[in-house]
Amino acid sequence: MDHPNLPGAYRAIAGRLGRRPALRFKQHGLFHDVSWDEYRRRADRAAAGLIGLGIGPGDSVAILSENRHEWPVADIAILSAGAVNVPLHAPLSAAQVEYQLRHSRSKAVFVSNQAQADKVLASLDTLPDLRFLIAFDPIRVDDRLPVLPWEGLMHRGAKDAEATAEVLRRESKLGPDDLATIIYTSGTTGNPKGVMLSHGNLLSNAEMCGVLLETGPVEVQLSWLPFSHIYARTCDHYATALVGATLCLAESMDTIIADFQAVGATRMNSVPRFYDKVWASVEHLTPEDRAGRLRAVFGPTLRMLTSGGAPLPLPVAEGFAEAGITLLEGYGQTESSPVITYSGPGAQKLGSVGRAIPGVEIKIADDGEILTRGPHVMLGYWDDPEATKAAIVDGWLHTGDVGTIDQDGYLRITDRKKDLIITSCGKNIAPALLERLLTDDPYIDQAIVHGDRKPFVSALIVPNFAALSATAAELGCPIDVEDDIIRSGPIRDFFAERVDRIMEAVSQPERVRAFLLLGRPLRVEAGELTATLKVRRREILRSYEGRLEALYARVPVFADPPL
């Protein structure tokens, strides 16, 4: 693309594709299309509306909304106005919303509905920079802050000739180094950090994804991951648009498969948790029946699936490959826009996350940390020069992940550097390895390993509740849950036997020797999962810290395991 900024690229695509569908979304039970012409017209009107309301170049404008067709249009409108998009994750609490709006000094915020608006309105006294709110759905007007409907914003822009001309002037001045977005990471301790990504960061990454994955205008991409996260923002929203493909929005997480078939999708980006669930539904079948059922799940139009955001379990990758379904794994993070490596079609090594995408360098530091350099590396952290200095050294982004690169250039992730467990007997243990071993068991859905500075390793285990119910019936044992923990003796014994067998694959000091069996699934609303269903291990361990600590008092340690 010969464009220095994202809205300019979108304008060129819209001019070329005109009436072809850009977006497809479900409303009142039916899928509706938004053409490229209409997409661009709405974005221009909304951009002019923002300018008319006083939004200047470089001002921060937030979006607090679940995925819906207005989200990407509002994003391009913000960028066309020369402003900076600050996407807020929809599940955030009011306190988290307040911090990110205040820290980013956002001048305006788009919200989806009353519930999201209430999070903003609850903290108006501490948001001196906030000037107005735009609502996609009708909400109650608040005398303390001007509130405009989405349609009203576009109507204002359509009537303001001067602001409409200003949109083109501002857009033409945007260069690849100009700030496009501030995305707040979940943060492992303290407040989240605002990752600053430029137009060049996002354009270069989206372009390379389209090239590597051989995406073209005939593609129909289903999208369900939150646009507030960089994975969907770059790989669904931007990469799809740059090749003129049609982006279809799933109605909800519960309708992904039905929506995939309904729109005749050819591809989808997702996270390992989704593929793990699909695999669990067919794993019990014979290999032949399993392959046929997997292909039937997605329908005849499927061409390619990709996985990112967390490690893809090897049995799942192997199962999809044996079924003849292309499931490609990649690796990245918010600070790298996000893609660092990808497994392209015909260039896949199961168990790896692929090779560096074109224009991107990777190397392994002396301590095993993965470093990367190139046009994808963030500008830095918003208002945090010290954190920026620690993260980017001599142009190399320190990812905080540990891995290896083989002789063919394929990267394998072995752990998070900061998640390494060092037991009280001095043994370094990678929890990700143990967690993958545990979750490969059909009776274990999720596992979080614990044991830093402890005499042995323990774990919090979330059962596969469908499998557990059948087993409990066979054992003639009720599933007794007290304070979130399963207390039934026969069920605990059943899992203890399975954990012991699983742990035979690792050395004595690495073995999980005690565990808590959680009596419910992990939940997004409890802060235990991110919006993309990744486990927030530190938050979970903090919640169960006291009960995990009690395990060490109850389980006798006769001798430290040999190193």
Q: Which residues contact 322 (CB under 8 A, 6 or more apart)?
A: 287, 290, 291
Q: Do domains 37-175 and 204-417 have the same CATH topology?
A: yes
Distance of alpha carbon 335 from alpha carbon 348, whole angstroms: 25
Assess contact for 42 and 67: CB atoms under 8 A. Answer: no
Beta partners for 182?
A: 196
Burial annotation 322-355 (CB, 10 A radius, 16+ → b, else e): ebebbbbbbbbbbbbbbbbbbbeeeebbeebbbb
Which tops the pLDDT comparison, 453 or 200? Answer: 200
**From the candidate CATH numbers 3.30.200.20, 3.40.50.12780, 3.90.550.10, 3.20.20.140, the one assigned to the domain spanning 204-417:** 3.40.50.12780
Distance of alpha carbon 314 from alpha carbon 91, whole angstroms: 30
pTM higher than the cut 0.95:
no
Asked whether residue 100 carries a pLDDT value surpassing 50, the answer given is yes
pLDDT tens for each residue of 522-561: 988 888 888 878 888 888 888 898 898 888 877 654 444 4
- Reference 171, options 335, 48, 280, 86; nearest CA is 48
Collapsing DSSP to helix, strand or coil, 355 comes out as strand
Collapsing DSSP to helix, strand or coil, 328 comes out as strand
Asked whether residue 47 carries a pLDDT value surpassing 80, the answer given is yes
- Reference 274, options 250, 245, 238, 291; nearest CA is 250
Asked whether residue 301 carries a pLDDT value surpassing 70, the answer given is yes
Which tops the pLDDT comparison, 142 or 116? Answer: 116
Distance of alpha carbon 396 from alpha carbon 350, whole angstroms: 27
Q: Report the share of the chain in percent with pLDDT over 70.
A: 95
**Both tokens assigned to 69:** 């067709």
Asked whether residue 97 carries a pLDDT value surpassing 90, the answer given is yes
- Reference 209, options 248, 246, 240, 177; nearest CA is 240
Assess contact for 458 and 515: CB atoms under 8 A. Answer: yes
Assess contact for 362 and 356: CB atoms under 8 A. Answer: yes
Assess contact for 160 and 134: CB atoms under 8 A. Answer: no
The confidence score (pLDDT) of residue 410 equals: 97
What is the mean pLDDT of the segment spanning 57-70? 98
What is the mean pLDDT of the segment spanning 354-366? 96
Distance of alpha carbon 437 from alpha carbon 27, whole angstroms: 42
The confidence score (pLDDT) of residue 553 equals: 77
Q: What element of type H or E holds 319?
A: helix 314-322
Predicted confidence band at 563 (pLDDT cuts at 50, 70, 90)? very low
Assess contact for 351 and 371: CB atoms under 8 A. Answer: no
The confidence score (pLDDT) of residue 555 equals: 61
Asked whether residue 489 carries a pLDDT value surpassing 70, the answer given is yes
Distance of alpha carbon 383 from alpha carbon 196, whole angstroms: 10
The confidence score (pLDDT) of residue 424 equals: 62
Which tops the pLDDT comparison, 236 or 218? Answer: 236
| Mean of the per-residue pLDDT values of the chain | 91
Burial annotation 83-122 (CB, 10 A radius, 16+ → b, else e): bbbbbbbbbbeeebbbbbbebbbbbbbbbbbeebbebbbe
Taking each helix axis from N to C end, the angle separating 36-52 and 161-173, rounded to the nearest 10 degrees, works out to: 100
Distance of alpha carbon 132 from alpha carbon 469, whole angstroms: 51
Asked whether residue 459 carries a pLDDT value surpassing 90, the answer given is yes
- CATH number for region 37-175: 3.40.50.980
Cα(first)–Cα(last) distance of the chain, in Å?
Answer: 55
Domain segments of the chain as ranges: 37-175, 204-417, 420-554
Task: Say which CATH topology domain 420-554 has.
Answer: GMP Synthetase; Chain A, domain 3 (3.30.300)
pLDDT tens for each residue of 399-411: 999 999 999 999 9
Predicted confidence band at 213 (pLDDT cuts at 50, 70, 90)? low
Predicted confidence band at 381 (pLDDT cuts at 50, 70, 90)? very high
Burial class, 236, CB count within 10 angstroms (exposed 0-12 / middle 13-18 / buried 19+): buried
Distance of alpha carbon 148 from alpha carbon 109, whole angstroms: 11
Question: How many residues can be counted in the chain?
Answer: 563
What is the mean pLDDT of the segment spanning 49-72? 98
The confidence score (pLDDT) of residue 491 equals: 93
Asked whether residue 393 carries a pLDDT value surpassing 60, the answer given is yes
The confidence score (pLDDT) of residue 427 equals: 67
Predicted confidence band at 425 (pLDDT cuts at 50, 70, 90)? low
Q: Is the peptide bond before 338 cis (omega within 30 degrees of 0)?
A: yes
CB atoms within 10 A of CB 477: 15
Q: Where are the beta strands (DSSP E) in 159-302?
A: 179-184, 194-198, 220-223, 246-249, 267-270
The confidence score (pLDDT) of residue 63 equals: 98
How many helical (H) and strand (E) elements, i.e. helices and strands, does the chain have?
Answer: 20, 29
**Both tokens assigned to 263:** 């729109």
Burial class, 474, CB count within 10 angstroms (exposed 0-12 / middle 13-18 / buried 19+): exposed
Distance of alpha carbon 78 from alpha carbon 129, whole angstroms: 17
The confidence score (pLDDT) of residue 557 equals: 46
Listed ranges 45-59, 240-254, 439-453; the one with the highest mean pLDDT: 45-59
Asked whether residue 186 carries a pLDDT value surpassing 70, the answer given is no
